[in-house]
Every structure is written in C-alpha cells, then in structure tokens.
Amino acid sequence: MGENQAMSYKLLRPLLFRFDPERAHRWVLASLGWFGSQPELREVITRAFCYEDPRLEQELFGLRFKNPVGLAAGFDKDARAVGGLAALGFGFLELGSVSARPSPGNPPPRIFRLPEDRAIINRMGIPSVGADRVAERLAELEDRPLPLGVNLNFTTQAELSREEIIADYRYSLRRLYACADYLAINLSCPNLPDAEFAPTEPQDLEALLQSLAKERGGKPLLVKLSPDLSDEELDQVLEVAQRYVDGFIAVNTTTSREGLRTQDRRLIAQRGGLSGRPLRARATETISHIYRRTDGKLPIIGVGGIFSAKDAWEKLRSGASLVEIYTGLIYEGPGIVKRIDRGLVRLLEEHGYRSIAEAVGSGARL
C-alpha cells in the first residue's frame, strides 16, 4: 500500500505543481476539509494512511502521542481541515500561526517552489482569520483523535507597541486555551514587519513569557526558535525561556540561501523563509545544541528537512522527542507519515531500542 500511495502521488504532483503554489494549497486544504467532514470516507482514509505500533507511542506534556510525526504550523493556519489531516496518520497537529485579530498577511505572490532543492520559500506574513474564528472552529469538532497544538503570533497588519504586541499574544492564548492541547509561541517568523518588540531580546522575551505564564494555567507552553540565531543568541533565548516553558520547537524557516542547487536567480532572490531539504542539517544542529544546553530536561519538537524515516531518526537521536513535517508533505504526498512511522520501527529494531523514547538523544552528547 505504501508504494502504491507514493506512486499515485508522483503521478498527481506534476498536475498540482502546474498551479500557483498558494492556489494548490487552498485546493488541498478544501479537499481535506471535505474528506474530514464525511465520517465513512474519513474512516477509509484512516485505514489506508495510519500505521500503529506501541513502540512509537510516548507521553509528553501530559499528552499521549500515538506516533512522533506531527504536522508543522503553517499548513493549516485557520483550522480548516483538522479531520482530514488527522486521517492521514499524524501523531499530532500544530495549527496556526494564529493572531488575535484577522489579518490578510502579505500580498501575493508569497509562496515559491524550488523543486531542485525540494524546498519552499514563503513570505505569507501570518495571514489569519483571527483567534475568535479559530476557537469557534475547534469548538465545533465532534472528536479530537489526536493532540492539537496551536501556534500563536501577533497581528502583523497593525502597528502595535511593545505592550500591545504582548496583549495581542495574551488575548489569543486566553481565547484558544480551552481548544488547544498545547500552545506554541512563534518567536522566529522571518516574514514579520519591523516592530519595537524583539522577542529574541532577553528583556522583551522575559516580558512576553512572564505575561503568558500567568494566563496559561497548566496548559503546556512551547516556543518556536529560529535557525538563524548564533549559538550565543540561542543560549540567551534558552536561558530566559526555560524558566517559563515546557519545551521547544526547532526550527522555523531560514533566511539563508546557502548551498542551493536552484539556478534561477529570481527564485533565490525572493524574500521570505526557506523550508525543506536545505534546512535539514542546520535544524539538526540546533536541536542538538538545545538538548545539550537544557540537559535533555525539556522536550524538543524537531522541524526542518524531514522527508524520510532516516531524516526523522536523525532528529530524534539528536534530542527531539517529536518531529513535524510540512515541505516533505508537499513533495512526498500524504503517504509520508505512514512511511516514516514504518521506517522508524525498522530503525528501532535495527538499533535494539524497545521504544522511540529510548532513542531520543542517543546520538547527542550531554
């Protein structure tokens, strides 16, 4: 079945790639939203794409994850296709980014494919229907078959002061608190306008996390980090953040264009964050750095360049407890989750581990 799924998507992908990337993405989301609303069809999809093995299960943040492969924020920003995405075999979904108020984001075109690099450049600019609408959609879900995280950012279309940005985050957290199993604070989107608030500066970060910590109660709180921070800058963020958060997400997209195979200079010159295969090594390095600096005490969700079980395994052994995919889903298709899960079980057997948890951090030096 896995090979058939891969072959089917290889035939479909050229057709999808003929469309503008954002238009194709909207079509995929709409299709997944419809599939997810049809119980019998959703069950058929679930049987085809899900793979279960108790060795893949973990408990983190007080939540049970059936497998370690999640969907990264950015794919379903407004919670339009939760049921359909859940049927694809993910262990968890991270929705958003969500802002307090509705925002259209940056003007199009704002997504660009780099097929030679198996990469995407995006400068979406946090388009969002707003926290109120996302909360309504999540409240309407009849069942929650897997953990749902919600990624938060501030409303980018408004000129906000430092205090207003913190209040913007706080409103979203309060509004989405009851709907989310964990909340992620996006500190690292490269597509934001200039603002007087700099979340990677220790003073601003302290003010933000201290304010949010008062609102979150017992809800797990994570922060998403940039791959473009120097080790010194990353250490400053970690020193502040680990006093308030329950884990880290590493990493977001990068502004770097180093090592690309793509020759089209117009593509390379596009502003925005780069995701996909070129980010793999830097993401793994950042995960390993965080794992060592925090003595492995806080769970890490690894993101960046994951297209296979081998890629996911690299992240897990470097210190990630969970992984997320986005660009890999676009290039590999919906069967990617099942293929990764099956491959991880084979790697566990090959290396003599009884569970994913045993493998986490096994390749990192504390």
Range 333-342 burial, b when 16+ CB lie within 10 A, else e: bbbbbbbbbe
Strands in the chain per DSSP E: 58-60, 63-65, 69-71, 92-98, 111-114, 119-122, 148-152, 182-186, 221-225, 247-250, 273-276, 300-303, 322-325
Residue 365 lies in a domain: no
Supply 101's token pair: 């108020």
Residue 112 lies in a domain: yes
Q: The domain spanning residue 317 has which CATH number?
A: 3.20.20.70
Mean pLDDT of all residues belonging to the chain: 94
Q: How many domains are there within the chain?
A: 1
Q: Could you tell me if 222 and 246 are in contact, meaning their C-beta atoms sit under 8 angstroms apart?
A: yes
* Among the listed residues 48, 54, 97, the one whose alpha carbon sits nearest the alpha carbon of residue 74: 97
Residue 364 lies in a domain: no
Between CA 256 and CA 258 the distance in angstroms is 6
pLDDT digits (tens, 9 = 90+) for 330-352: 999 999 999 999 999 999 999 99
pLDDT digits (tens, 9 = 90+) for 269-308: 999 999 999 999 999 999 999 999 999 999 999 999 999 9
Please tell me whether the overall predicted TM-score, pTM, comes out greater than 0.95 for this model.
yes
The domain in which residue 62 lies consists of 2-359
Confidence of residue 189 (pLDDT cuts 50, 70, 90): confident
Confidence of residue 158 (pLDDT cuts 50, 70, 90): confident
Residue 161 lies in a domain: yes
Residue 366 lies in a domain: no
pLDDT digits (tens, 9 = 90+) for 72-120: 999 999 999 999 999 999 999 999 999 999 999 999 999 999 999 999 9
Residue 278 lies in a domain: yes
pLDDT digits (tens, 9 = 90+) for 34-82: 999 999 999 999 999 999 999 999 999 999 999 999 999 999 999 999 9
Residue 90 lies in a domain: yes
Residue 113 lies in a domain: yes
pLDDT digits (tens, 9 = 90+) for 108-120: 999 999 999 999 9
The pLDDT of residue 196 is: 74
Q: In what order do the strands lie in the sheet with 273-276?
A: 111-114, 119-122, 273-276
